[in-house]
């Protein structure tokens, strides 16, 4: 009974539009983005260095709840929300501030189950974008102008939980895709299903199925490729309480280690803990620096609640640094 009560309280707290915060004006469409830098003390992030932390805010009615992130161009990011909206914006300190906030799926007004974007992937050569939708276990493809060109409900994802479906997705440099579910057969299952597609999943590529076992209590929420071919996986853990708290971790994994039906092995990379600002980090994008290193961008999902914020982190990984366990 106690667990049921806690789950109910947390569900209310995380549900957008609840009593936690007054909803924005439905008529406010101002294309404005407020970027407030945070003064964060130096912290040990292993091979990563914190190069910036900001609070993002906007009066636009479609701002917030971001759960997917992608790099559009050097210094340009795209965030997508579990409400089917998007925000294309210039990263802080990357030239003149630019922002575009609005509908992404073209399905504004439909129930949330049709709009729940949890992950983004992008082909830097063509600008093509893929979005993974959790509640309906589908993947959609968009062109460089954000127009949808195709969609698919992969048969291999048909049995995934409606509330723990495709949560993390990465397009590899060779055109393959890796997709991870947020949960297993039920929430007590320590392993989550994963799929390795040999090509574009929307084009009908048949995937190889494997398993993913994160540290106890953590679940995968996003994933992005590094220049060396490995991927970084963003993990999240909810600390039950009122209000709920969140813990995050970054782990490394090599797609070359994926085997049919077997668990995918990972190595620890960094712990996202104080003095880093704490929140519900759900979006991860990686921008190569052209010298073998990379910039990791993380964005948090504010869930439309007053006790959370939309945070943006910039973490730098030098080419000569090694992860813990390497």
Is 325 a member of any domain?
no
Q: Is 324 part of any domain? A: no
The answer as to whether 326 is a domain residue is no
Per the domain annotation, does 60 fall within a domain? yes
Residues 324 and 219: their CA atoms lie apart, in Å, by: 20
Local structure of 112: helix, strand or coil: helix
Q: Which of 18-32, 53-67, 171-185 has the lowest mean pLDDT?
A: 18-32
**pLDDT value for 174:** 97
**pLDDT given at position 106:** 82
* Residue 17, in any domain of the structure: yes
**How far, CA to CA in Å, does 98 sit from each of 45, 106, 156?**
30, 22, 39
- Laid out side by side, the sheet with 310-317 consists of 34-37, 48-57, 310-317, 294-300, 281-288
Which range scores top for mean pLDDT: 26-30, 176-180, 321-325?
176-180
pTM of model > 0.75 = yes
Neighbouring CB atoms inside 10 A of 242's CB total 10
pLDDT at 48 over 50: yes
User: Is the preceding omega at residue 263 within 30 degrees of 0, hence cis?
Assistant: no
Among 7-16, 101-110, 169-178, the range with the most confident prediction by mean pLDDT is 169-178
Return the CATH number at 266. Answer: 2.115.10
Q: Contact 287/24 with Cβ under 8 angstroms?
A: no
Report the percent of the chain where pLDDT is more than 70: 87
Q: How far apart are CA 4 and CA 35, in angstroms?
A: 38
Q: What is the pLDDT of residue 4?
A: 38
User: Quick check: is 27 in a domain?
Assistant: yes
pLDDT at residue 214 above 60? Answer: yes
Q: Is the pLDDT of residue 73 over 90?
A: yes
What average pLDDT does the structure give for the chain?
Answer: 88
Closest among 56, 58, 110 to 83, alpha carbons compared: 110
For 220-274, write each residue's pLDDT tens digit.
999 999 999 999 999 999 876 666 778 899 999 999 999 999 999 999 999 998 8
Distance of CA 236 to the CA centre of its chain: 10
Taking the alpha carbons of 142, 146, 148, 153 in that order, is the dihedral positive or negative? Answer: positive
pLDDT digits (tens, 9 = 90+) for 159-212: 998 888 999 999 999 999 999 999 887 767 789 999 999 999 999 989 999 999
Does residue 289 lie within any of the structural domains?
A: yes
How far apart, in whole angstroms, are the C-alpha atoms of residue 284 and residue 33? 20
CA distances from 44 to 215, 226, 321 (A): 20, 21, 14
Number of domains, the chain: 1
* pLDDT computed for residue 188 by the predictor: 72
Quick one: which of 56, 17, 58, 52 has its CA closest to 35?
A: 56
Q: Is the pLDDT of residue 132 over 70?
A: yes
Instruction: Provide the pLDDT confidence category of residue 20 given band limits of 50, 70 and 90.
Output: very low
Q: How far apart are CA 320 and CA 127, in angstroms?
A: 29
Assess if residue 200 is contained within a domain: yes
Enclosing domain of residue 282:
2-317
């Amino acid at each position: 009974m106690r667990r049921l009560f806690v789950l109910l309280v947390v569900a209310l707290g995380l549900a957008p539009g609840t009593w936690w915060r007054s909803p924005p004006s439905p008529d406010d469409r101002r294309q404005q983005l407020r970027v407030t830098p945070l003064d964060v003390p130096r912290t040990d992030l292993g091979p990563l260095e914190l190069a910036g932390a900001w609070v993002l805010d906007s009066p636009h009615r479609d701002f917030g709840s971001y759960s997917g992130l992608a790099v559009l161009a050097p210094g340009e990011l795209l965030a997508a929300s579990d409400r089917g909206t998007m925000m294309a914006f210039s990263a802080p300190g990357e030239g003149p501030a630019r922002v575009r906030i609005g509908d992404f799926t073209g399905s504004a007004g439909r129930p949330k189950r049709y709009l729940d974007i949890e992950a983004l992937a992008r082909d830097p050569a063509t600008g093509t974008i893929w979005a993974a939708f959790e509640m309906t276990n589908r993947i959609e493809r968009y062109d460089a102008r954000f127009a949808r060109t195709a969609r698919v409900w992969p048969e291999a994802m048909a049995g995934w939980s409606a509330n723990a479906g495709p949560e993390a997705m990465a397009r590899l440099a060779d055109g393959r895709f890796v997709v991870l579910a947020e949960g297993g057969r039920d929430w007590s299952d320590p392993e989550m299903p994963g799929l390795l597609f040999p090509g574009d999943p929307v084009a009908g590529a048949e995937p190889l199925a494997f398993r993913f076992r994160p540290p106890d209590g953590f679940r995968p929420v996003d994933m992005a490729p590094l220049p060396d071919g490995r991927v970084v996986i963003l993990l999240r853990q909810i600390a039950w309480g009122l209000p709920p708290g969140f813990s995050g971790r970054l782990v490394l994994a090599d797609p070359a280690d994926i085997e049919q039906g077997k668990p995918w092995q990972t190595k620890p990379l960094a712990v996202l803990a104080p003095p880093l600002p704490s929140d519900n980090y759900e979006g991860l994008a990686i921008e190569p620096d052209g010298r073998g290193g990379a910039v990791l961008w993380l964005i948090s999902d504010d869930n439309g609640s007053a006790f959370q914020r939309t945070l943006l982190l910039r973490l730098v990984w030098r080419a000569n640094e090694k992860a813990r366990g390497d």
